[in-house]
Amino acid sequence: MTHSGTVSAVRKRTAEFGGMPAGAMLAQHCVGLVVACNDDGFTIASGSQRVRGRRAVSCLLEPCVGDTVAGLLVAPEELWVVAVLQREDGVAHVLRCHGPTRLQVDGGALTLDARELAVAAGNFSVHAATARFAVDDTQWIGQKLHFIGSTVKFVGAVFSTVFERVAHFSKSHVRTTEGIDRVQAMHIECEAEQLARISGQHLLLNGQDLVKARGGQIHFG
């Protein structure tokens, strides 16, 4: 049934049961207890009556069994739940909206304050000119992680990585270490297209079984 058809039906039922003209839409306020919930709506017990009801769009809090709610009775068998007045302790609060929803704040700031905050979504996007995260302990878990930017900088006391395979490509690579720079591997291979140079105040070459130097010319001293 379309919205216009629903309005026409409500006007007709109001005229039939309330004796009011068809053009007037009157509603009766009531308070009741939610005794049943399903996909079609709610069953509200108010006094000796039980009425089927639906949640009004403005009532964002999803009613559940045991809630005391305020409603508008627009027809003998049609009630709109406009607010949840009371709920037992320990029952989760669920804010529910149907269809595309946007929370917009004009000329101010939006602050979320909670002991725990969780976000679950199929796709999650954040667009901002500046983003800042300040946490004591953070952990990222995922199958794929991509960082793309013109400038990436990491500053810290300890940097540790564990990978099965590492591939690095850059047009220029400069590394400076004040202390020890040590590489340990089963096989180390360094290759340069034009010049390979190792210099230091002292140079030690140690081969347990073999030390070999080969070239067109070999100069010592």
pLDDT at 86 over 50: yes
Q: Which residues pair with 42 in a beta bridge?
A: 37, 53
Using pLDDT thresholds of 50, 70 and 90, give the confidence band for residue 27: confident
pLDDT at 63 over 90: yes
pLDDT at 221 over 80: no
Give the C-alpha distances (Å, rounded to integers) separating 16 from 11, 29, 126. 9, 19, 53
pLDDT of residue 17: 46
Of 187 and 75, which is predicted with more confidence? 187
pLDDT of residue 14: 47
Q: How far is C-alpha 89 from the geometric centre of its chain's CA atoms?
A: 27
Give the N- to C-terminal CA distance of the chain in Å, as an integer: 99
pLDDT in tens, 28-55: 888 999 999 988 889 999 888 888 989 9
pLDDT in tens, 130-183: 999 999 999 989 899 898 999 999 999 999 999 999 999 999 999 999 999 999
Using pLDDT thresholds of 50, 70 and 90, give the confidence band for residue 9: low
Alpha helices in 170-215 (DSSP H): none
Q: Is the pTM of this model over 0.95?
A: no
Weakest mean pLDDT among 62-66, 74-78, 124-128:
74-78
pLDDT of residue 77: 78
CB 30 within 8 A of CB 85: no
**Cα(27)–Cα(170) distance, integer angstroms:** 73
Q: Which domains does the chain have, with CATH numbers?
A: 27-86 (2.40.50.140)
pLDDT of residue 46: 87
Q: Helix, strand, or coil here: 45? A: strand
Q: What is the per-residue DSSP string for 52-119?
A: EEEE-TT--BPP-TT-EEEEEEEETTEEEEEEEEE--TTPPP-B---S------SSS------S----
pLDDT in tens, 91-124: 989 999 888 999 999 998 999 999 999 999 999 9
**Cα(186)–Cα(189) distance, integer angstroms:** 10
Radius of gyration of the chain (CA): 36
pLDDT in tens, 179-200: 999 999 999 999 999 999 999 9
